[in-house]
Amino acid sequence: MSKPLVVDIHTHVYPPSYMAMLRARKTVPYIHDPEQGEPRLIILSSDDDPAIPIDQRGRPVDSSYSDINVKLTFMQQHGIDSSVISLANPWLDFLDPSEAQEWARRINDDLEETCASVNLSGNPDQKLPLKGRSSLFAFAVLPLSAPSPDIIVEEIKRLRSLPHVRGVIMGTSGLGNGLDDEKLGPVWAALEETQLLLFLHPHYGLPNEAFGGAEVTARYGHVLPLALGFPLETTIAVTRMLLSRVFDKFPRLQLLLAHSGGTLPFLAGRIESCIMHERNFVKNGGNVPGPQRSIWEILKTNIFLDAVVYGVAGLKAAVTVGGATDRLMFGTDHPFFPPLTEGEKDWLSVTTNYKAIEETFKDENETVAAVLGGNAARILSLE
């Protein structure tokens, strides 16, 4: 079998302008430049504990976060033909409302320019094969802290003029009150109208108290907030969307969930059972409308999952709830989880994903090819 097309739909970039913005800040999120050693990115509140020396807070950031040539080298080393780049958390959620629109335009234009400069000729009208060359597309960022949802809608509609944009990325806080916030209605409507895919990515995790307090969290580094907090954050956010009837009101809204949907594939049956038995909902004698569509239907029609779950069991759950393999897409989460040994070229976080896909779909070459790149090329119209 010839090498299949490989598309990485979960890969992040901090444009230089964004890095400069973070360096100018002194509160989370910010970048600390020590006198010696690598700069440190502090994006979680748990990282900003005064008890932790500032030169040890957060995580080190090197050129892989912002240098697109490093990204391209990474792609070539790991056999990746095309990447859909996106700004990583914390996006623009923290900006003053007066700055949100300007920065969203600036970042999105930077992403578009980067994609155009890398892709051969940068001409969207020229049909070029994805396989065998390094090409880039992008998920844009939204000005969610803007003073009015109308500004967010304006940017969503402007994105249609950017040839390499294939969707948007956002976190789970929405406008600051979660994704069941009624004020997000115009945003959902605009995404539904434009059919831009929404890449939903966690950021805030769970409070330190959920893991036993700040001391416990600090003791184990990022294991608890990233391994457990992030997946549960995604699960809670999507469930709140379901309960508030977002998917009933906007049935054509399309979401891509990071990290294979968190714990949603495993807990879908339990969520559905609790909904069926909830006395607060009208159908059971209460006064809350409650969702009309089942979570099983939504997982098969409104939700796509990435394959960033690092194991066979997780991938099998993701495929089961989606009803088929055509809603699952490969990702790396680059530049996070790099090798710990200096000089090591293969990223364990990437090779583990490759291995899990191969083991999950043994002897199913067409399925492997679809998950690695065919699904993304079709869903995101990359060719």
- For 302, the enclosing helix (H) or strand (E) is none
> Residues 6 or more apart from 323 whose CB is under 8 A from it?
299, 300
Q: Which amino acid is at 354?
A: Y
pLDDT in the model for residue 53: 87
CA-to-CA distance for 221 and 28, rounded, in angstroms? 17
Task: Using a pLDDT cut of 90, give the percent of the chain over it.
Answer: 81
Closest CA to 205 of 236, 238, 168: 236
Q: In angstroms, rounded to a whole number, what is the distance separating the alpha carbons of residues 4 and 34?
A: 43
**Quick one: pLDDT at residue 121?**
45
pLDDT at 120: 56
Residue 83's beta-bridge partner residues?
8, 136
28-43 tens-digit pLDDT = 999 999 888 889 999 8
Q: What's the confidence (pLDDT) of residue 11?
A: 98
Question: How far apart, in whole angstroms, are the C-alpha atoms of residue 349 and residue 336?
Answer: 9
- With beta carbons less than 8 A apart as the criterion, state whether 166 and 138 touch: yes
Asked whether the beta carbons of 50 and 33 are under 8 A apart, the reply is: no
User: pLDDT value at position 123?
Assistant: 43
Pairing of strands 165-170, 7-12: unpaired
For the chain, domains (ranges, CATH) are: 62-84+91-380 (3.20.20.140)
pTM metric for this prediction:
0.94
Weakest mean pLDDT among 3-12, 126-135, 266-275, 296-305: 126-135
DSSP 315-365: HHHHHHHHSSGGGEE----BTSS--SSTT--S-HHHHHHHHHHHHHTTT-H
DSSP 282: G
- In Å, what is the CA distance from 337 to each residue of 11, 69, 340, 347, 381? 12, 19, 8, 8, 29
* 94-119 pLDDT per residue, tens: 999 999 999 999 999 999 999 999 98
Residues contacting 109, CB < 8 A, separation 6+: 162
For 1, which DSSP code? -
Give the helix ranges, DSSP H, for 168-229.
185-194, 214-219, 223-224
Residue 312: CB atoms within 10 Å: 16
**pLDDT value of position 277:** 97
List the one residue out of 17, 174, 27, 46 whose CA is nearest residue 109. 17
Residue 274 has pLDDT above 80, yes or no: yes
Q: In what order do the strands lie in the sheet with 135-141?
A: 7-12, 82-86, 135-141, 165-170, 197-200, 255-257, 303-306, 328-329
Buried b (16+ CB within 10 A) or exposed e, 60-74: ebeebbbebebbbeb
- Provide the pLDDT confidence category of residue 126 given band limits of 50, 70 and 90: very low
